[in-house]
Structure 1
Amino acid sequence: MESKQINKNYQVSRKTIFAIIGTGLMSFCGILLETAMNVTFPTLMHVFGISISSVQWITSGYLLVASLVMTLASYMHKRFKLKHIFAVAIGLFFLGLLLCVTAQSFPILLIGRLISGIATGMTTPLLFGIINHDIPLQKLGRYMAIGAIIVSMASIGPTYGGIVLYHLGWRAIFLIILPLAIFASIVGLLNIEQTRPIEKIHLDIVGFIWIAIAFILISLSFNQASAHGWVSFEFWITLILGITAAALYGRHANRTSSPLINIKIFKYKPFVLSFIAYALCQLVNIGMAFLLPNFGQLVLGATSLFAGLLLLPGSLLRLFLMPWGGILFDKKGPRLPIITGISAILMSGILFFGFQSVLTIPLMAVFYAVFSAGFSLTFSNLLTNGMKQLPRPLKGDGNAAFNAIQQYSGSIGASLMATFIGISQSNAHGLSFVKATGLGSRHDFIFLIIMELIMLVLQIVNFKTQKSTSSEN
């Protein structure tokens, strides 16, 4: 079946546009709830009598499950009808919603969030799979930006969560989203078209097991660090076992004819450099979304309402800048928006660190707006630039890898932020809870700055590599 990517008129059908809207809004609902829960952590810690290291699994566990499901995206899109995938995701989303609304204990709430993570793990790759397969290459940058906008609008989650938590309680966060989720379900089911043939391919179960072991062990290692410290045996043995499992997946993928994700994508250096920077960008993004509302409440003593509102200006700024970032990519190429964006992200990290002792909610809102401006120019363009480096037969694997690492790196970001704070609280040595949390937050800001510097260096090298490759061709 002919792909619209080779349509010489560069036209996008009405059904494709509405399919993007339906799948995008469904993904938005899932991610909105994920980010909204960040502002509820102090409340949930009090209600269920748990620590910050435990409550962070509401975010990191959700993202971990979503990332694992996303590793199956390439297989699912080849093996099953896209509309059927979407229908299953809808059912899981509403089941997870029901469990969260009725939860009387933390384990039930966590199970509900994990089931919702499965749903998001199905809908987000579906959104970007439709864009990558059915949008003409000449319009790919702007449509990738549109997809990223729909998903990134969920960055208003802490604001949404803070307002609802303050006025109606945390359970209402799940109920209010219900009408939008129903609307998204209907739009998606009515407009998703099957523009590619179904293939009867083999599921790489062994590969999935190795990836699952790697993801879970690496995530658990940070919990061990929070409980026992960075130099503990428990942290290092769990981390090493996780990395070993990842290496064993690579060995397995080289030996099987139909790997879960074809690791040949990592033979393309510009793709790898974009991929790593994309992962770090999302790690920093989720890290910020976790850290700032909790810093506002636990250190500055702000209410959930104001802690949520501090992210609102930056979140709204993304809506305006992301489309421009995609258009800039299409017209000027990737270097200008990506390098400019990462520089702004780095500047925001330095500002948060330098002014931490005098931070206020308004000042944090300004610094987060700087971060959001940089994120808007960087995030979707790293994905677009990375995908353009792959030949068409590998684009499905690239899409699955990007979507999986987006969620997983977010999970690691939340875990790391909680780990630094948890270690500081455990080793307070006479410091008050507020001061210990502030010290842990300072370590968080330092870590984020280091990640941002690595992103910048990677992309400087990347564009030199792309320029060299282009001149050789």
Structure 2
Amino acid sequence: MQTDQFIPNNQVSRKTIFAIIGTGVMSFCGILLETAMNVTFPTLMHVFGVSISAVQWITSGYLLVASLVMTLASYMHKRFKLKQIFAWAVLLFFVGLFLCVSATNFSMLLIGRLISGVATGMTTPLLFGIISHDIPVQKLGRYMAIGAIIVSMASVGPTYGGIILYSLGWRAIFWIVLPLALIAAVIGLLNIQQTRPLQKPRLDIMGFFWLAGVFVLISLAFNEASIHGWNSSNFWAFLILGLLAGGLYVWHAHHFAFPLIDINIFKYHRFVLSFVAYALCQLINIGMSFLLPNFGQLVLGANSLLAGLLLLPGSLLRLILMPFGGVVLDKHGAALPILTGISASLISGILFFSFQASLTIPLMTIFYALFSAGFSLTFSNLLTDGMKQLPSKLKGDGNAAFNAIQQYSGSIGASLMATFISISQMNAHGLSSVTATARGSRNDFILLIGMELIMLFLQLIDFRKQRKTAEMR
């Protein structure tokens, strides 16, 4: 676990830096392929003869599996050597990759993506676990930002996917990543150190069962809605059962000595506010990366190259602004970058909604760049600020919870965007496919604006609590 000591010399070892690079680039490769696949959906729908509600499982299924594995992160980091965890993740990544490039049907492709999701579910918490344990608190904000940059660089995935799909075909998307993944694997295996003692905690099998129930049942609920609409009895049945499973996990965690994720983290109110806002931030982010390339292709008629390129300027802007946001947090506190970032993202959503009828690829590129600027100032800083609210003994559980909700909220984001479009297409009543998709996308933009407003409200409450606490000291 990370200590809260203020380390005087501020030094970070070379081994630690290379361990962060190795695990970060491996995580980047996994998330890059996940976001790159978003732009391939129209092609995959045609090649394999599946609907948008089915093909979105390439993204949402991957993120669902990754989030489930991440709930085990705290246990794995206590029980196994970090290098062993990384080695298994590398093996699973390559197994998943080779299944995808050789897929002859949609089921085989989906299985490959699910196996890859397991790998990412292991590497991403490992990256942030190394940072939170081995980086001095004085530099935590900027290193968290660096970790988030490595992962967020995968936001160039739709651009990468669009270019490769247009020029070489969708299978090449996987082949080209292979050399980078091999280099990351070697760097990680040579530099990951065991700087924390191993323990032998009991694996909370029942807790994992209930958490898996929550994640799977709620995902199935949205899948049912995308096929049969919001009035579907199956949608409500799965949703209620998922919420019930969540309640049973809370009860179980109160009565089990070593729960999978210690729910005492949720006794810290400011942690909860950051946690919920972080989940919404990632939901919106993945929702945008799903919605915009598909809107560009299915509504505007752009090819995969243009649909992918529209996200490139915003993705590159993240590389510049995300470390800046971490430095601002370290120097001036979390309120300034987070509230500024949420406001920028909210304005972007309002612009997308207001100009939806006249959107063009250049206009979408500008609006997405504004969204990315806001996301850069918000995303890693919500994580950093939330983790600072926890005592050392709960930081491992907080890290596991943040990483799991990052992936799962992304899964729900993709499902929600696909659901509104699918329902609009089902209820077209004579409208063309293009018009029905545009109408569904308009509902998606409304939803995204609503979530941005909730984020802003939660963080205003958070920093109000912070000011009151400071005044009482």
The two structures have a TM-score, normalised by structure 2, of 0.99
Give the Å deviation of 1:4.
9.8
Q: Contact 2:2–2:392 at 8 Å: present in 1 too?
A: no
Q: In the alignment, what sits opposite 2:99?
A: 99
Distance 1:350 1:272 in 2: 27
Q: In the alignment, what sits opposite 1:449?
A: 449
Q: For 1:44-443, what aligned pairs fall within 5 Å after superposition?
A: 44-443=44-443
Q: Contact 1:41–1:52 at 8 Å: present in 2 too?
A: yes
Distance 2:187 2:53 in 1: 39
Distance 1:155 1:111 in 2: 23
RMSD: 1.1
Distance 1:65 1:246 in 2: 17
Q: Contact 2:4–2:392 at 8 Å: present in 1 too?
A: no
Distance 1:366 1:121 in 2: 32
Q: Contact 1:5–1:135 at 8 Å: present in 2 too?
A: no
Give the Å deviation of 1:26.
0.2
Give the Å deviation of 1:265.
0.1
Give the Å deviation of 1:7.
3.3
Distance 2:278 2:77 in 1: 23
Which residue identity is paired with 1:136? P
Q: Contact 1:66–1:404 at 8 Å: present in 2 too?
A: yes
Which residue identity is paired with 1:189? L
CA change 1:39–1:294 in 2 (3 A) is: same
Give the Å deviation of 1:465.
1.1
Which whole-Å deviations, capped at 9, do the CAs of 1:321-366 have from their partners, x for residues lacking one? 0010000000000000000000000000000000000000010000
Distance 1:328 1:240 in 2: 42
Q: Contact 2:217–2:239 at 8 Å: present in 1 too?
A: yes
Distance 1:4 1:170 in 2: 46
Distance 2:5 2:288 in 1: 36
Distance 2:102 2:232 in 1: 38
Which residue identity is paired with 1:152? S
Which residue identity is paired with 1:424? S
Distance 1:356 1:50 in 2: 27
Q: Contact 1:22–1:188 at 8 Å: present in 2 too?
A: yes
Which residue identity is paired with 2:350? I
Give the Å deviation of 1:435.
0.3
CA change 1:4–1:25 in 2 (3 A) is: farther
Give the Å deviation of 1:6.
5.2
Q: In the alignment, what sits opposite 1:21?
A: 21
Q: Contact 2:2–2:395 at 8 Å: present in 1 too?
A: no
Give the Å deviation of 1:471.
2.6
Calculate percent identity across the aligned residue pairs: 76
What 5-or-longer segments of structure 1 have no aligned partner? none
Distance 1:179 1:45 in 2: 28
Distance 1:396 1:6 in 2: 19
Which whole-Å deviations, capped at 9, do the CAs of 1:407-449 have from their partners, x for residues lacking one? 0000000000000000000110010000000000000000000
Q: Contact 1:5–1:134 at 8 Å: present in 2 too?
A: no
Which whole-Å deviations, capped at 9, do the CAs of 1:126-161 have from their partners, x for residues lacking one? 000000000000000000000000000000000000
- Secondary structure of 2:375's counterpart equals helix
What 5-or-longer segments of structure 2 have no aligned partner? none
Distance 1:6 1:358 in 2: 53
Give the Å deviation of 1:8.
2.1
- Secondary structure of 1:465's counterpart equals helix
Distance 1:339 1:279 in 2: 16
